[in-house]
Structure 1
Amino acid sequence: MTKITSTMLADMRTRRESGDTVADIAARYNVKPMTVYQRFNRALGGTPLPGPANDNNPHRVTRMTARNGGCSTTSGKMPVTLVRIPSVDGVAVERVAA
């Protein structure tokens, strides 16, 4: 596995701008073409990598939900982030005495 340094990435970008194909660049650095595409995308401010499902937001909660037609096994579930509802999520609601 080859670690791509910032110097290597700059050289890759220069080669790409001069007309080299992504496959040629990948072969030169002993990486897969998809790796080159991903590094170009990330270095140029492309789509950021997804964050955690809950992101430690106190107003949201993570629940597991079925993603394959309602299968009840754990392998068929995925995390989703929902708005926190105090009465459902077991958080006590503070009431102010009148």
Structure 2
Amino acid sequence: MNHPPSTEEMRALKKEGMSLRQIGDRFGMSGTGVFYRLGGEKKSRSARPAANDNKIIKMMPHNGGCSTTSGLMPVSLARTAQQVAA
């Protein structure tokens, strides 16, 4: 069959036991295309955990950092992580 496929034809073939890939090969479509054409939907994904573990990074000044040429006391910023209350 080389004519444009109808959804009714695809549903009839699926009821006869043909796989989505076989139906797709018959009509020149991919199996995924047939799946969506027959009303398939993507499964909802569960929420992924945050990449940063919900930590806030605060920069805290402390002495002992790299030297400066301005004559001022060298100060570096240390990264301190604090857990955010959920």
TM-score range for the pair, normalised by the shorter chain length: 0.3 to 0.5
TM-score (norm. length: structure 1): 0.36
Greater fraction strand: 2
TM-score (norm. length: structure 2): 0.40
Greater fraction helix: 1
